[in-house]
Amino acid sequence: MTTVEKPAFRCISASEAIVLISGEPPAIVFDVRDMANYQKGHLDGAAHLSEDRLLAWMKRLPKEAPVVIYCYHGNASKVFAQMFIDFRYSNVFSVDGGYEALVAAQATPVAA
């Protein structure tokens, strides 16, 4: 019996996420916090994602598209990232530190 390595999402830092989001092609970004917090503030271009909208999004996104998911601290985003992997998405990332870390990383200038 051979062991086939199952695809997995990657946990990345907020600064790595910023690079992916601003890269080519830009990553698709999902905020999985509750709607009230999403409405208070979210990354530019981030779509709100909840379990009831997951399948609708998956029908629209290419399987190879880079997908970056963030939440409050980096825990719930892992659950959503695994769901994308389970549906055979190959470029899925969960942001360690969540929304606050992303905001801080956006404010930090990138060294050239």
What would the CATH number be for the domain defined by 31-107? 3.40.250.10
What pLDDT score was predicted for residue 110? 56
Nearest-angstrom CA–CA distance, 25 and 7: 21
Q: Which residue has the tokens 């990232």?
A: 81
What pLDDT score was predicted for residue 5? 63
Residue 3 clears pLDDT 60, i.e. is over it: no
pLDDT band at 92 (very low <50, low <70, confident <90, very high): very high
Structure confidence by residue, pLDDT tens digits, 15-72: 999 999 999 888 999 999 999 999 999 999 999 999 999 999 999 999 999 999 999 9
pLDDT band at 6 (very low <50, low <70, confident <90, very high): low
Q: Which active-site residues does the annotation give?
A: 71
